[in-house]
Structure 1
């Protein structure tokens, strides 16, 4: 984000923000609500309401957030009630709901060009919309945002976009169509201890600029260790959930996929000490 803002690259800023909305739980330990343990995601709630209502004012957002956070109402009923109130004119917020009207996270999204103000109509307050270029680029991802963070189950952005730099400009490339380094190969080095296997790896394969991951096979090493497995995860409130924990192969594969112009090397030491067919699987 710092690099994007420093370069005044609006497209790159918008990409960072889109990724954050998909992966960062703003309602948890971010003080987006009265308590830092809220299930509601305020920025995603605002975006979702804009998509459903065409635009949203700060007062309308305060009403929605108050209904969902303080009263425990559901989104669908609250939105229907808001539409009725909008048709009647300006919304009269009570003291409890009014505390949400000063929504600085939304204001900063406007400032950074992710959201925008529709200046053609200001009835009932400033009409905040999704910036047209953001909507055209990310509409599907925006519609898939979760307004409750308990429904969020991804640690990585849901995207196939890759940020590349061409002639000083940032461009988005579909990762599935990106030009990739195609000289990858599997190399097996064997020999008695001291014959120079490690030296050869360091001097002939680990070139400057490559990304290296090392691991050691042993008799107890398994497919789950290598690829990954589902493990229990205990939250701060004691709630137990189960999530996939990637192994070294999956991690380096994901990194290589996300960075098609970089070279990655996975070094497996003592490969013959483990049960290789069982570890590699199909």
Structure 2
């Protein structure tokens, strides 16, 4: 039995067809008309000799150099935490001197270290504490990595405390080592890394594509490669403005095609109801969306 559609039903179907057409024509509004992976609409020849940057080779070189190149800078927050850790350890160590005896300390204390702490005056201990803190600050200014071996870290701390006599020098070095071991105050700076990466690429030479006048860039029907796209872009043949006119044409064409498909279905099934028609149009919109999102690799429908 034939199902009659009301005016409202027809309006809903009409808007749904426009929606399918909008999905199909959307790339013409937001993407260049020529881009890698699309068939070339016509043959294009180089208007003149040119040397064009090969973006594909450049990206490959960046990907090869990128993981190996990092520019690091000191992180103020991490530095402050490490300084605070040393200050806490110094306070615990100095406060462990109570009534002439040693209590629990943040590091292992040798008899020489214990004698040093018990025989120094408060002024001498304060001066020693300041010297240790300044030594750690110099090391943090240079940057500390978390993978540095303990003995190397301790030797570096001793070099920073070379003006102190023993055993204060060794005790201070042990405190600095304990406060820094396994920690870092460095972080990667992406902007400086990019600058260094660009400098290295410039030193090694930017990959170029040499183009001769009259040389064929694209052949009608063949897929546009990235190299061909770079050459077209260098000659100003890639329009990045929205193709409004072409978008409207594609929109109308796709909307009419969706409407014709629906009319054919209704001719063969006169009892086609509005929900079924909308389901059909929705499926078509999903197929078009998959085509745009995944490209020609998703299925034969996207070709």
**Structure number with larger C-alpha Rg:** 2
Higher RCO (CA < 8 A, seq sep 6+): 2
Identify the structure with the greater helix proportion. Answer: 2
Q: Could you state the TM-score of these two structures normalised by the residue count of structure 2? A: 0.21
